Amino acid sequence: MWGLATPAHTTYAPFDSSYFRGELVGHTDAVWDLALVRDESTLISCGAEGSVKVWDVTGTFGGSLRLSWTFAGLLDEGEERDDVPGVTAIEPIKVDLKKVAVAYQNAAIKIFDIESGKDLMLLHVEVDDGLVAQVNSIVSHPTMPILITAHDDKYIRLFDIITDAAGFSLVSGGHDCSIRLWDILGTRACVQEISSHREKAHEGVLDVQFHPSLPFMVSAGADGVVRLYASS
């Protein structure tokens, strides 16, 4: 864990060890995603070994593990399981920050209660035989009970986790280096395509995000470039 540098800190300033706040040790394989919730007092992490861990990070240095679970349920302290699918992404439910959505290699998405680790909902993806539909990214709509997932089978899927109807746009990024804007409510079609990143190591756009309140969008590419876009 790291503290953020002050605005006066320059790119090539000497390394300042005081920014290092400690390590959180618990996963036994690669950590694929992190999410801060509850005014940044709680950190949620997920690993390729299949576990989701909830950490208390209110202290000045490091933090402590509060609870851990897998696809099959809660884990006791020190317990490990090797018969569960790996976790690929996590996303707090923005309309209910007591819950977190967890995506798995087996194309399933589960919603859990952050405080108790209770399994609340399973979202199942139907795929053709032989296709791999691992979930690679998951996004919660900022104002509506909707989850959007991106899969290995090149599909973007929308899940209504209650039932609500309203208009909104979606942005997606792909390894073909394209960024696409989609009209979800009306035509459900791509309304704009942007190609501003270059391919590197067979990868293109790694992440795209809308600003929560301003008309800006940002993308990060495998080419090492971060680009900022403004809506006209």
Sheet containing 179-183: give its strands across: 169-173, 179-183, 190-194
Report the distance separating Cα 155 and Cα 148, nearest Å. Answer: 11
59 with 139, same domain: the answer is yes
The count of structural domains within the chain is: 2
58 with 118, same domain: the answer is yes
34 with 83, same domain: the answer is yes
The domain boundary residue, chosen from 118, 133, 166: 166
- Which residues constitute the domain of residue 232? 167-232
Full DSSP string of 132-179: ---EEEEEE-SSSSEEEEEETTS-EEEEESS------EEEEE-TTS-E
187 with 109, same domain: the answer is no
Q: For residue 54, report the phi and psi dihedrals to the nearest 5 degrees.
A: -110, 125
The domain boundary residue, chosen from 130, 145, 166: 166
Report the distance separating Cα 106 and Cα 72, nearest Å. Answer: 13
Query: What is the 8-class DSSP label of residue 153?
Result: T
147 with 44, same domain: the answer is yes
Token pair belonging to 125:
């993806």
Token pair belonging to 170:
């979606």
Tokens 């699918």 belong to: 85
For each successive 10 residues of the chain (232 residues), what is the average pLDDT?
81 82 88 88 92 88 86 76 86 91 91 91 76 85 86 85 52 88 76 90 88 83 92 70
Full DSSP string of 44-83: EEEETTS-EEEEE--SSS--EEEEEEETTEE--TT---SS
How does pLDDT run across 111-132, given as a tens digit for each residue?
999 999 999 888 877 776 666 7
The domain boundary residue, chosen from 166, 182, 208: 166
